[in-house]
Amino acid sequence: MRGVVIHAPRDLRIDEVALPSPGPGEVRVEIAAGGICGSDLHYYRHGGFGVVRIKEPMVLGHEIAGTVAELGPGVASHTVGQRVAVNPSRPCGHCRFCREGLHNQCLDMRFLGSAMRMPHVQGGFCQSLVVSAAQAVPIADRLSWSEAAMAEPLAVCLHAARRAGPLLGKRVLVTGCGPIGVLAVMCARLAGASMVVATDIAPEPLALARRVGATEALDTAHSPAALAPYTAEKGSFDVLFEASGSEAAVRGALEALRPQGVIVQLGIGGDMTLPINTIVAKELQLRGTFRFDEEFALAVELMGQGLIDVTPLLSASIPFESAVEAFELASDRSRAMKVQLTF
């Protein structure tokens, strides 16, 4: 079978890879769709991000859905032909954090398509993938492959919403309207936020943020002072979902957060310098958020019930043989929000 393999920056190839066989407790999934994530783009453009670097060829991809094609010994939870979204997280289950229930902080996590460990964990942009049965989450009949492959980024945003605490009646600011920011807008709405203001520096993502429920979507490139009305009297917003990774965005947002406001940092952009005095004096709470745990099944459930509709984010589905074209399209924010590969 074939897969989409990153060898080095800008060196993405369609390679022949070995067809795996499921072991005890595992299933083989024939992949139907796989979404290109910001981290896949980082591997493609720069060979990695932060200290994570490609050290050997790796199949990319961790936003995937497909059909159960083969059951390993002892698997009674699934049937061949079942449609599933694949949870890319495979925590060890017995380290100190797994025992505490903090599976996303597992000391021995195997996350699909990640170069964080050596040897790298091969990803899901391939025709067939073996995962533990628990990673194959059955989806509702109403969901398309493209929707099912959005479970992973949606789970990231549901986990971020949980990190924020109760959102009912809250005033929420979302900085950065890529797929994660736009999904954060939708999660904040679903969780009962009374107002959701989104910012970005490009018109197309802002238009989408409006379409999925943002009260206001502000272009801070054209109007750097767009948030000024929200900075009066020590600021307006209760919660910030920061999905840009941009220092300028964070600095602008801090001024618009009310005292004791909560910052949930989703965006990663390397090191940044922040006005600690503002954080101290306004008693702001800076919280990280990393991947997800049981929110993956919740994402599948919410989409399956029609409570979250991710279809406005879906820009294009492109055959995996044209992966380079798809990665270039996914890099262009004026033309694409979420680009997926088909297999």
- Residue 109 structure tokens: 């996590």
Q: Would you count residue 91 as binding Zn ion (CB under 5 A)?
A: yes
Return the C-alpha torsion angle 95, 100, 105, 106, nearest 10. Answer: 20
Q: Evaluate whether 266 touches 156 at the Cβ level (below 8 Å).
A: yes
CA distance 40 to 112: 11
Among residue numbers 275 through 314, which ones bind Zn ion (CB under 5 A)?
A: none
- For strand 11-16 and strand 58-59, is the pairing parallel, antiparallel, or unpaired? unpaired
Q: Which residues pair with 198 in a beta bridge?
A: 174, 217
Q: DSSP label at 201?
A: S
Nearer to Zn ion, 34 or 91 (CB): 91
Instruction: With contacts defined by CB under 5 A, name the span among 77-85, 88-96, 146-154, 325-333 that binds Zn ion.
Output: 88-96
The minimum distance between CB 16 and Zn ion, in angstroms, equals 33
The minimum distance between CB 88 and Zn ion, in angstroms, equals 15
CA distance 141 to 123: 25
The minimum distance between CB 136 and Zn ion, in angstroms, equals 20
CA distance 160 to 313: 19
Nearer to Zn ion, 102 or 130 (CB): 102
The minimum distance between CB 133 and Zn ion, in angstroms, equals 18
Instruction: With contacts defined by CB under 5 A, name the span among 89-97, 155-163, 206-214, 231-239 that binds Zn ion.
Output: 89-97
3-state secondary structure of 330: helix
CA distance 205 to 198: 10
The minimum distance between CB 337 and Zn ion, in angstroms, equals 33
Nearer to Zn ion, 296 or 327 (CB): 296
The minimum distance between CB 294 and Zn ion, in angstroms, equals 15
Backbone φ, ψ for residue 277 (5° rounding): -60, -40
Q: Evaluate whether 87 touches 148 at the Cβ level (below 8 Å).
A: no
Q: Choose among 185, 178, 166: nearest CA to 269.
A: 178
Q: Would you count residue 47 as binding Zn ion (CB under 5 A)?
A: no
Nearer to Zn ion, 95 or 316 (CB): 95
The minimum distance between CB 93 and Zn ion, in angstroms, equals 6
The minimum distance between CB 101 and Zn ion, in angstroms, equals 11
Q: Would you count residue 92 as binding Zn ion (CB under 5 A)?
A: yes
The minimum distance between CB 165 and Zn ion, in angstroms, equals 25
Q: Would you count residue 8 as binding Zn ion (CB under 5 A)?
A: no
Binding-site size for Zn ion (CB under 5 A) equals 5
Nearer to Zn ion, 97 or 272 (CB): 97
- For strand 338-342 and strand 26-35, is the pairing parallel, antiparallel, or unpaired? antiparallel
Q: Evaluate whether 220 touches 249 at the Cβ level (below 8 Å).
A: yes
The 140-159 site mask, x for binding Zn ion (CB under 5 A), equals --------------------
Nearer to Zn ion, 41 or 116 (CB): 116
Q: Evaluate whether 326 touches 36 at the Cβ level (below 8 Å).
A: yes
CA distance 271 to 279: 17
Nearer to Zn ion, 111 or 125 (CB): 111
Nearer to Zn ion, 106 or 303 (CB): 106
CA distance 104 to 106: 6
Q: Which residues pair with 53 in a beta bridge?
A: 48
The 95-134 site mask, x for binding Zn ion (CB under 5 A), equals x--x-------x----------------------------
Nearer to Zn ion, 13 or 99 (CB): 99
Q: Would you count residue 337 as binding Zn ion (CB under 5 A)?
A: no
> What is the binding site for Zn ion (CB under 5 A)?
91-92, 95, 98, 106
